């Protein structure tokens, strides 16, 4: 069984920060390992997204339902990225949470992850190195 499936459901109400759907956030989740990672069942039912369109130089905003095709596009992008780092696909149907180190709040923790990595402009060839850097940074933050 892989690390994703070993991740427990989140039951605590505080001390955790939800990760967004960026591929790099999924890599952070893998790097954190089950000790510092939790998940909860998640559904896109009723989810709305803002859509920007431009016609004849006029920009307009609208709201549309998040579709199954939208979900498949997001998951495909995430799993392609993870595969490039040698990480198995992330299971669908969950929201993912990282444990916040005691000396931080959620916002500052995510900021540290975002700017604390030495390779912010990672190419696919460098994802294995990026994963090691994330693991090292998380180890320091969780000490």
pLDDT tens by residue, 83-135 = 988 999 999 999 999 999 988 999 999 988 887 665 555 555 578 888 888 89
Could you report how far apart the first and last alpha carbons of the chain are, in Å?
A: 27
Describe the chain by its helix, strand, coil percentages, rounded to 5: 45, 20, 35
Residue 17 near residue 98, CB atoms below 8 Å: yes
How do the domains of the chain map onto residue ranges?
A: 3-142
Compare 59 and 10 and report the one with higher pLDDT. Answer: 59
Supply the pLDDT for residue 2.
82
Residue 106 near residue 17, CB atoms below 8 Å: yes
pLDDT average, residue stretch 26-46: 92
What does the alpha-carbon distance between residue 18 and residue 64 come to, in Å, rounded to a whole number? Answer: 23
Tokens of 59: 């920009």
Supply the pLDDT for residue 4.
92
């Amino acid at each position: 069984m892989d690390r994703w499936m070993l991740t427990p459901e989140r039951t605590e109400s505080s001390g955790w920060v939800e990760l967004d759907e960026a591929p790099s956030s999924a890599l952070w989740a893998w790097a954190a390992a089950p000790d510092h990672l939790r998940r909860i069942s998640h559904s896109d039912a009723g989810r709305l997204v803002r859509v920007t369109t431009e016609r004849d130089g006029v920009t307009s905003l609208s709201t549309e339902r998040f579709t199954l095709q939208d979900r498949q596009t997001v998951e495909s992008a995430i799993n392609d990225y993870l595969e490039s780092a040698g990480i198995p696909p992330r299971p669908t149907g969950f929201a993912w949470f990282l444990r916040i180190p005691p000396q931080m709040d959620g916002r500052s923790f995510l900021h540290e992850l975002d700017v604390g990595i030495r390779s912010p402009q990672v190419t696919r060839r460098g994802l294995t190195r990026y994963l090691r850097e994330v693991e090292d940074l998380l180890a320091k933050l969780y000490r």
